Amino acid sequence: MMLTNSANTVGTTKNQKQTQQLSPFVYWAQTEDLITLKVDLKEVEHVDVTMENDILHFEANGLGARGVNDYEFNLHFFSDIEPNDSTYNVHDTRVTFNIKKKVNCWWPRLICQPLKPHWLRIDFDKWKTEDDIDLEEPIRNIMQDYPNTYKELQRQEFGYIKEKGKMVYLLFYNFGMFIGYLYIFSVMSILYYRDGINCMPNIYENVGNAYKFVQLMQYLEVLHPIFNYTKGSALIPFLQVTGRNFILFIMIDNEIRMQTKPVVFYLFIIWTLIELFRYPYYITQLLNINIYILKYLRYTLWIPLYPLGIVCEGVIILRNVPYFEETQKFCVNLPNKFNFTFDMPLFLKIYLLILALPGTYFLISHMTKAREKKLKTKKKFFL
């Protein structure tokens, strides 16, 4: 009886050791011809690796999630590999594998069985960058090149599609701005349909506050590239938004006589038409939807609209010069404690020259280059 109990005890101990087998966290990624693995172990010793046609066996001692222990795992791959062309390297903080696929193709998963073990993770960083792998070409961006595969990997790893906060914010921002300009355009269209040209003197009274709101909101587009929400420089949107707001807040909102001029109606229509195609285009780009006609209009409508808008802005500034000479609004005259003088009418004349010559050239040049890049055309406009 004692011997029997002892034998049972020994058998139980062996079973406990088998059930307590420790596996390290293993992170994997792939290209069309290569599988990469990163074994999360530090201070690795006594590494034993066996690779066969579709199997990888790993054993080592090291510092992992369960402290310093013996760790091991087995991977039965989804498809065959080339053991002789596959390599591994032991680093201070990890063990890395470069495993050559026998057939170049994208695997839907790493292992043959659909249910993956809890210690096997997807290395999303490796999908995006070359990292430590010695390849002649960098790893492709799976999120852009294979969006469906990337979403499936996200679903397998997290159980849901992990939306990026930046993308959600930009979708809401662009959609909100589109709704704002659509509201302005709708009001102006209804008033013009109902009253014809008689609506023009009252157009600022009806949409002025809405226009001031959306134009102030556009300063967020200056912050987007600064905080890496969008690509490009913050200078271009800053100059464009500030130029519009100068016309809107200083030239129109501060001079009641200018608010009733027909040129304000024409300027608002031009600005609105530009934005009604710009924001929907940005939304489709965020959603990876390619609508060529929308892209074409986004990068073509500016050809007639931008010069017309500049002409309208110039007319507003020119008409305001005698008004500001009369009212002396924003002028600073001597003597004053700062010993400083500022003549607003003179500033408007200088600003008009800057807007008419270098400002127009800079803006048209920028948009022409953007059009060439997006529509793959070398045709020049106004240059």
Task: Give yes or no for a contact between 177 and 184, defined as CB atoms under 8 angstroms apart.
Answer: no
Point out the residues that are catalytic: 306, 313
């006594």: which residue's tokens? 46
pLDDT value, residue 144: 54
CA distance 142 to 147: 7
Q: Are strands 34-39 and 42-51 parallel, antiparallel or unpaired?
A: unpaired
CA distance 72 to 327: 85
Q: What is the pLDDT of residues 191-209, one digit of tens each?
A: 999 999 999 999 999 999 9
Q: What is the pLDDT of residues 215-232, one digit of tens each?
A: 999 999 999 999 888 888
Nearest alpha carbon to residue 100 among 176, 34, 147, 17: 34
Q: What is the pLDDT of residues 242-255, one digit of tens each?
A: 999 999 999 999 99
Structure tokens at 334: 């001597």
Residue 69 scores a pLDDT above 70:
yes
| Residues recorded for the chain | 383
How far out from the chain centre does Cα 306 lie? 26
Q: In terms of domains, do 218 and 310 share one? A: yes
pTM above 0.85, yes or no: no
Beta strands in the chain (DSSP E): 26-30, 34-39, 42-51, 55-64, 67-76, 81-90, 95-101, 120-122
Q: What is the pLDDT of residues 144-174, one digit of tens each?
A: 555 555 566 655 555 544 456 888 999 999 9
Between residues 3 and 95, the one the model is more confident about:
95
CATH code of 76's domain: 2.60.40.790
Structural domain range at position 334:
165-375
Q: Which of 69, 90, 123 is the last residue of a domain?
A: 123
Q: What is the pLDDT of residues 360-375, one digit of tens each?
A: 888 889 899 989 988 8
Residue 186 in any domain: the answer is yes
Q: In terms of domains, do 29 and 169 share one? A: no
The 8-class DSSP code of residue 22 comes to B
Residue 157 in any domain: the answer is no
Residue 181 in any domain: the answer is yes
Percent of the chain with pLDDT over 70: 82
What's the domain count of the chain? 2
Q: In terms of domains, do 320 and 171 share one? A: yes
Residue 274 in any domain: the answer is yes
Residue 322 scores a pLDDT above 60:
yes
DSSP sequence for 78-135: SS-EEEEEEEEEE-SS-EEEEEEESS-S--SSSBSSSS--TTEEE-HHHHH--TT---
For residue 270, give the amino acid letter: I
Residue 184 scores a pLDDT above 80:
yes
Model confidence at 234, in pLDDT bands (50, 70, 90)?
A: very high
